[in-house]
Amino acid sequence: MGQDRQQLLLAKTCLLASQILMENGSELARIDDTVKYISNTYSAGNDEIESYVTSTLIIITANDPSDEEMQPLVLVEKTNVKSINLTKIDEINRLSRAFVARELTLKELYAELRALRKMPMTSLTKANIGSFFLSSTLTYLATQSIVASILAGLFGTLGMYIVTKIYDALHRPFIGELIVAAVITILVRLIMLVTPLPEFNTIIIGALFPLLPGVQLTTSINDIFDGNLISGPQRLLSALILTFTMVLGSLLVFTIWR
């Protein structure tokens, strides 16, 4: 019974690590490697831990090859990419290395992973500040205009704030990005009624830049090259739809406002 409990704890630890990595935008190869590091370090080949991960589902199986009568343990969990948080992914790497180095026990690793999953994302204030500097810097590099740079930074901050609030309220992707693209385009057009903005297209692009799924695109391509032909195309399609959604929101305003 004690061995069964330890096998269950090992499987739950691998499942939890996989969930955290997937929810925060990790590529699938990293998830598979992390499961192997944890299971091989603990069981030294006594337990066979296998993982099957897609963009919406994680399956962890544990089997003791020395006990032919024992049924394999199977854990299944639905999941999805909730955000891009490289800090949590790096923390998983640190914890797994500490476990491999025998600095953590399996029980301690599981407790650390549970605490990590509950850890909140970067505060909205930091996200807004980051959006301002990213939007303003890129716009200034493209236009050499301080006014355009400041406007793009302000609109980028507003866009990040609105998207975050809409997602917290609806828990649906794409809707916030569509609304934000339309709102930013409307604000730029309203300003153009008062004063000309030669760089208005660049301002809109710069303001929307922090919302573009750059990391998701890179991860999807890595998954495809690694042979993950289910999750890779799914992530790629999601990133393309998100980009198209922002373009659509802006084009709708330009089409209606003539």
Structure confidence by residue, pLDDT tens digits, 175-218 = 999 999 999 999 999 999 888 888 899 999 999 999 998 888 88
User: At 145, is the pLDDT very low, low, confident or very high (cuts 50, 70, 90)?
Assistant: very high
Indicate the average pLDDT of the chain. Answer: 87
Q: Is 231 left (phi over 0), alpha (psi -120 to 50) or beta?
A: alpha
DSSP state at residue 209: G
What φ, ψ does residue 46 adopt, rounded to 5°? -75, -30
Handedness of CA 199, 202, 208, 210 (dihedral sign): negative
In this prediction the pTM is 0.81
pLDDT tops 50 at residue 1? no
For residue 65, the model assigns a pLDDT of 64
The H or E element spanning position 51 is: strand 48-53
Q: What is the pLDDT of residues 110-122, one digit of tens each?
A: 999 999 988 876 6
- The answer to whether 15 and 58 are in contact (CB under 8 A) is yes
Residue 25 · residue 83 · CB < 8 Å:
yes
d(CA 210, CA 241): 16
Cβ-proximal residues to 20 (8 Å cutoff; 6+ apart), any chain = 88, 92, 113, 116, 117
